[in-house]
Amino acid sequence: MSINVNTFGTNEADEDKIEKAVQEVFSFKAADIVAQLDLLRPIYGESTNYGHFGYSSASLPWEQVDKVDELKAAL
Q: What is the pLDDT of residues 15-44, one digit of tens each?
A: 999 999 999 999 999 999 999 888 888 776
Q: Is residue 2 part of a domain?
A: no
DSSP, res 2: -
* pLDDT score at 52: 57
**Cβ count near 38 (within 10 Å):** 10
Would the pLDDT of 1 be above 70?
A: yes
* pLDDT score at 45: 67
Q: How far apart are the first and last CA of the chain?
A: 21
Instruction: Quickly count helices (H) and strands (E) in the chain.
Output: 3, 0
Q: Is residue 4 part of a domain?
A: no
Would the pLDDT of 47 be above 80?
A: no
Give the CATH number, domain containing residue 25: 3.30.300.10
Query: Structurally, how many domains does the chain consist of?
Result: 1
- CB–CB of 69/15 below 8 Å? no
Residue predicted with more confidence, 35 or 55: 35
Structural domain of residue 42, as residue ranges? 15-74
Q: Is residue 42 part of a domain?
A: yes
* pLDDT score at 63: 76
